[in-house]
Structure 1
Amino acid sequence: MYKRILAAIDWTTSSESVLDQTRQLASLTGAAVFVVHVRAADFPSLPSILNTLASQALAEQPAGNGASSVARRMVDDAITVLSTAGVHAEGLLLESTPGATPRALLDQARELDVELVILGSRHHGRPSVLFRSNVADEVSRHAPCPVLIVP
């Protein structure tokens, strides 16, 4: 049935449901899971970059992005949850420009040749629905494979 599943997680509460559904399906089918988080790339100003680098140098901390490390921890925690349940899982942290999350997920699904994409529904307020589309809607319309959208 499914041999390769892409599970997209984000900061919303639906990520727990995404992982639960992923765990259940992967356990039943023996599928490998790719846990993916797409982080909108920040475009900091040059002064903020220099301040950050200077602060890290003075504190003798390795250069790094705080948001990136938090996102990496989220992906690593998801892999731990799945691995503890006996599911083979790998994690991917992607960056995209703001608004390009659906394209990043679709490109990754094609590149990994997955047979199922699992992601949460994101309920936007009324004004948001008028001006931009939902990530789950975009992915489901253009995915190269079936898509499971969980609440």
Structure 2
Amino acid sequence: MIRRRAVTVSTSNADDAAYRALRDVAIATEDIPDARVVGGQMVGLLVTAFPTGPAIIRRTADADAAVSTQVAASGALHTAFIAAGYQPKRGSRYESEDGRAIDVLVPSDNRFRQVELGGRGFDAVPGLRLIFAADPILIDLDVTLRMTRGCT
């Protein structure tokens, strides 16, 4: 397993919300082996943890989590996100009243599509099975937020 420490600074209120949502994903998936952070935030975290020279860090306003179809069908993340103050929205998106947002994605064999697992809809994305075939890269992240009110 690869483990790195990274330090970064939030650049906007949207960035604050995305990092706080990332924390919520990390807490909810801590004991789930078939869960990974993906999308724009993952790219930014990897560039921060493994700097390769001048780069513009990709920013995003939400956290994207990929989970196996078994994890999605179990409802465990749904329960965890509700307990963390999120409300389910369209598809597999969760939003909180304070601006945090999480999208949950599942693997698809060959095309982008909607699937129903455990009574909930999910966006199925090709290529996600590959990320579960390798050990996760763990990044211990220290973020300085712009607005600390309401953060824990």
- Is this a same-fold pair by TM over 0.5? no
Question: Normalising by the residue count of structure 2, what TM-score does the alignment of the two structures yield?
Answer: 0.32
Which is higher, the Rg of structure 1 or of structure 2? Answer: 1
TM-score (norm 1): 0.32
